[in-house]
Chain A
């Protein structure tokens, strides 16, 4: 898959359009962006990294509704948001524990199921698709799979993980190649941003994550506007190169995977 990367003209004060870095470096072909994806990335940016968003989550005194739960899960997927994860944990862990305890009547096992389930929620959140079902249903299936494999291990001393193949989750990802790639892209991008030199990282984050205009940022950092622009340009160029590299790598992997055996 050949990805073209678009770089906004950084001199045009486009910084207000803060749909996130992803959309700036997004696949060029507009046809490839499905309506669902647009909705998804919209809700994504609504829940975006800024701390104030996470804080608004705290105000709720009652039970979180399904939208809230989905939003937390998406925040975990896209921003590796630990606060949102803590929310999910406190909401689900006691329930998972109660259900497991009732079912298996085994204290150690139910704690292990809680731990494994929540670990998988953290690690697999990018495989959750809100349009395909409720967060609760998704987490239920994670719990069911964890329980199934743990029990099998206890009973048959079999260590293979069968649940992923019996109840495939990635299969859904195959239906939606674009979204699937996008989730991965977000993660890749965050990793790449981390590797940038501090000065460039600072500018990039301020403009794309914190929604500052370049002028505001120049003032805030007390540096000339031209410096902001050139740092931003350097950062985006570097990102673009690295994205191209990782794309080549993943293409190599893909062709190696197609092999058959019996």
Chain B
């Protein structure tokens, strides 16, 4: 039974594409396991899409010739007819690629790889004792994303998080001072938490952390990493 879910604020930003790839992937995987969040995402998507319903004049006025079927407003001086002709000149369709079912092998255990991670490059698993992890090469600056594997009886040393730590439990179970978690749980911790995860029977998690360095600027920085790339 999933008890921990992304906040509505995060779901909203997920829907509008405003979260980093790491967190977006985590939410996508959670939603695949959680019908409640899946349904909410669908609702939020419909709501977000109303941004495209607002009927107002095109930014650049059209040369009115109402009976023409073709477009004749201009888009920053680009010829709309040309754009349309260009796009439609190739009548081939995008082949519908069904999701490949990939499997992840860690220390003799095999797990289905969540679809959201299919296209992401991954380092190899390495670690000490019963804990091993593999880095996902998302290249998101101070945000680091890993797959974390704990063998049965594995224990992560007591730690606090200087930044935030998101843990999405993919398979198996683990527990900490705050309770027991089951697959699909979306656990967000900040620096105030101190915990010592322990897995009696082993588990696989997706973890996303951001560094303290950056973190002083607050969670909004994590939520809105896109702004800095653009402006």
Q: Which residues of A contact B (CB under 8 A)?
A: 54, 58, 61, 63, 80, 82-83, 85-87, 89-90, 92-99, 101, 104-107, 109, 111, 114-115, 118-120, 122-127, 133-134, 136-137, 139-141, 143-145, 147-148, 151-152, 154-158, 160-168, 170-171, 173-174, 180, 184, 187, 257-258, 260-262
Give CA–CA (A119, B118) in the complex, Å. Answer: 24
B58 contacts A by Cβ under 8 Å: yes
Give CA–CA (A259, B118) in the complex, Å. Answer: 14
Q: Which of A111, A120, A147 contacts B78 (CB 8 A)?
A: A111
Q: A143-B52, A157-B139, A166-B116 are in contact. Are A85 and B59 (CB under 8 A)?
A: no
Q: Which of B21, B80, B102, B110 contacts A89 (CB 8 A)?
A: B80
Whether A158 contacts B138 by the Cβ 8 Å rule is: yes
Whether A160 contacts B102 by the Cβ 8 Å rule is: no
Most A-side CB within 10 Å, residue of B70, B84, B104: B84
Residues of B within 8 A of A119 (CB): 87
Q: How far is the CB of B33 from chain A (nearest CB, A)?
A: 14
Q: Which of A63, A147, A160 contacts B55 (CB 8 A)?
A: A63
Residues of A within 8 A of B105 (CB): 262
Most B-side CB within 10 Å, residue of A115, A122, A147: A122
Residues of B within 8 A of A262 (CB): 102-105, 110
Residues of A within 8 A of B25 (CB): 162, 165-166
Residues of B within 8 A of A157 (CB): 139
**Those of B84-124 within 8 Å (CB) of chain A:** 84, 87-88, 90-94, 96-105, 110, 115-121
**Those of B139-160 within 8 Å (CB) of chain A:** 139-141
A-B contact pairs, 27 of them (CB 8 A): A58-B69, A85-B88, A89-B83, A90-B73, A94-B58, A95-B54, A97-B59, A98-B56, A98-B59, A99-B51, A115-B87, A126-B94, A126-B96, A127-B96, A136-B49, A143-B52, A148-B21, A154-B230, A155-B226, A156-B139, A156-B140, A158-B138, A162-B21, A162-B119, A165-B28, A165-B99, A165-B115
Nearest-CB residue, chain A, relative to B85: A82
Whether A93 contacts B80 by the Cβ 8 Å rule is: yes
Residues of A within 8 A of B99 (CB): 165, 168, 170-171, 174
Q: A156-B140, A160-B119, A167-B28 are in contact. Are A260 and B229 (CB under 8 A)?
A: no
Whether B93 contacts A126 by the Cβ 8 Å rule is: yes
- The interface size of chain B toward A, counting residues with CB under 8 Å, comes to 68
Q: A93-B71, A124-B94, A141-B45 are in contact. Are A118 and B119 (CB under 8 A)?
A: no
Q: A109-B230, A260-B101 are in contact. Are A86 and B69 (CB under 8 A)?
A: yes
Whether B226 contacts A151 by the Cβ 8 Å rule is: yes
B212 contacts A by Cβ under 8 Å: no
Whether B120 contacts A160 by the Cβ 8 Å rule is: yes
Whether B52 contacts A139 by the Cβ 8 Å rule is: yes
Residues of A within 8 A of B54 (CB): 95
Give CA–CA (A189, B96) in the complex, Å. Answer: 17
Give CA–CA (A126, B96) in the complex, Å. Answer: 9
B24 contacts A by Cβ under 8 Å: yes
